[in-house]
Amino acid sequence: MKDFIEFGSQRIDFNIKFSKRKTLGITVNPEMEVIINSPENTPTDLIKKKVEKKAGWIIKQQSYFLSFHPRIKERKYVSGETHLYMGRQYRLKLTESKKSEVRYKGRFIEVYTPKKDKAKELVLEWYKIRAKAKFAEIAEPLIQKFKKYNVEPKGLYIQNMSKRWGSCTPKGKIILNPELMKAPKACIEYVIIHELCHLIHHDHTQKFIDLQTKEMPDWRRWKDKLENLLA
């Protein structure tokens, strides 16, 4: 069941799930969806009052998760266009060639292709290949560091995600978005540390925030950098 409330100038949409429980719970997931877990037969007016009471917290949680939503500007993948790699800007240089290859040289990302309309596909695949090696390199010392908490991820995986920079599955697999290759190293470390903290604390509780701050005291700086750089 779906409903909403108006809170100031904002509208808060939420999904209501009824079940045999005694108390009403409100959660905000990484997709910024608001889920109301409510006892059966709870009046809608009462649910709305509870949502209004927690509206400030809901908006704060949604804003927090927004930083994990990639907002990459649409690119045309033509010569002269700027693209980011590890936080630095490079210009795309397309060259017609019998071979299909991408490499970066100086301040250029050079794309060799027999068909220029294949440039996007080649560049995205190049980012993914680079991400697989680079993320593993960056993650290894962090994974070793977290062993003091008796945790270790089941694996590090690369996957395109429209709404997340990273995620940690219930089975302990850490998944990273290859778009992170466009960000500085510290931003990548921040996302990896964030997901490693989820091996210990599954929700974004104060204990989670405290652990993240302990392992990366300046994480807010890199969170903001990631949000603004790739917006």
Could you give the C-alpha distances from 195 to 16, 30, 139, 141, 221, in angstroms and in order?
28, 13, 11, 14, 17
d(CA 135, CA 140): 8
Q: Taking 80 as the threshold, does the pLDDT of residue 125 lie above it?
A: yes
| Statement to judge: residues 61 and 142 lie in one domain | no
Domain CATH number, residue 167: 3.30.2010.10
**Of residues 154, 157, 175, the one with CA closest to residue 166:** 175
Q: Taking 80 as the threshold, does the pLDDT of residue 171 lie above it?
A: yes
Residues 6+ apart with CB under 8 A from 184: 86, 87, 222, 225, 229
**Of residues 166, 120, 204, 83, the one with CA closest to residue 213:** 204
| Statement to judge: residues 133 and 223 lie in one domain | yes
Pick the last residue of a domain from 66, 97, 116. 66
Instruction: State residue 68's pLDDT score.
Output: 64
| pTM to 2 decimal places | 0.71
Residue 219 counted as domain residue: yes
Residue 134 counted as domain residue: yes
Q: How many residues does the chain have?
A: 231
For the residues 125-130, what does the mean pLDDT come to? 95
Round the average pLDDT of the chain to a whole number and report it.
90
For the residues 105-133, what does the mean pLDDT come to? 94
Q: Tell me how many domains the chain contains.
A: 2
In this predicted model, what pLDDT tens digit does every residue of 20-46 receive, in sequence order?
898 999 998 877 789 999 999 899 999
